[in-house]
Amino acid sequence: MFESTLGWMGLQFARFQFRNDIERVQDLTKFFSGARNVLITLPVGYEEAIIASNALREFRNRLNHLHLTVVSSGTRATSLIDYQRCEVIRIDPLDINKFSLPTRSLLQRIESREYDTAVDLNLDFVLYTAYICKASGAKVRVGFTHPASDVFFNVQVNLKTPGTPQAIYNQFAACLAMF
C-alpha cells in the first residue's frame, strides 16, 4: 500500500513537471520509418522483453538506417539488443527512486543523444519507463493506452484485446510497420 502511494505521488510530480509542455502538430505518416534515432524501453519482465524484441526484430531488419537506444532493466540480452547500431542502457534498482521515477544520472545517460521517436513496450503502465520516454525529448512518443498515458505519450496504441503477449506485440509491430 505504501509503494502505491509513493507511485501515485511520483505520477503527480511528473504531471506537474510536464504541465507546460505543449504538443506541436506534426505529420505522423513516417514517424518511425523516417526516424534516425529511436529510443525503445523494453518491458520490465524478461519474458515479455524477449517476446517484444522478437516481434520487432523482423521489422527492425527493414530499417537499417536506425540507431537504436534500448533501455532494459534486465541483465540478459534480447534479440533486439544484438543489432549492429544499438546502444544499451541498463537500469538497476538504484536508478529508480522511491517515487518510481528515474534518477538524474539515468536521465543524463538517456539525454546524451537526441531522439526522433521513443517507444515504451510495457503492456502495463510503468511510470519510470513512461517518464523516460517523455524526458527523452522525442517528437513522437509511442505507448499503450492507460488513464495516465496522455501525460507521456502523443501516440497511444490500444491493443489490449484478449490474447497472449506474443499476439499483442505482433500486432504492435504490424502497427509500427504502417508508419
pLDDT of residue 1: 47
CA distance 101 to 11: 8
CA distance 121 to 99: 21
Mean pLDDT of the residues in the chain? 81
Residue 163's pLDDT band, with cuts at 50, 70 and 90, is: confident
Largest CA distance in the chain: 46
**Better pLDDT: 25 or 169:** 169
Angle between helices 127-135 and 2-17 (to 10 degrees): 10
Residue in the block written with cell 527492425? 60
Domains delineated in the chain: 2-18+27-177 (3.40.50.2000)
pLDDT digits (tens, 9 = 90+) for 106-159: 999 999 999 988 999 998 899 999 999 999 988 888 888 888 888 888 888 886
CA distance 150 to 154: 7
pLDDT digits (tens, 9 = 90+) for 60-90: 666 677 788 888 887 666 666 666 777 888 8
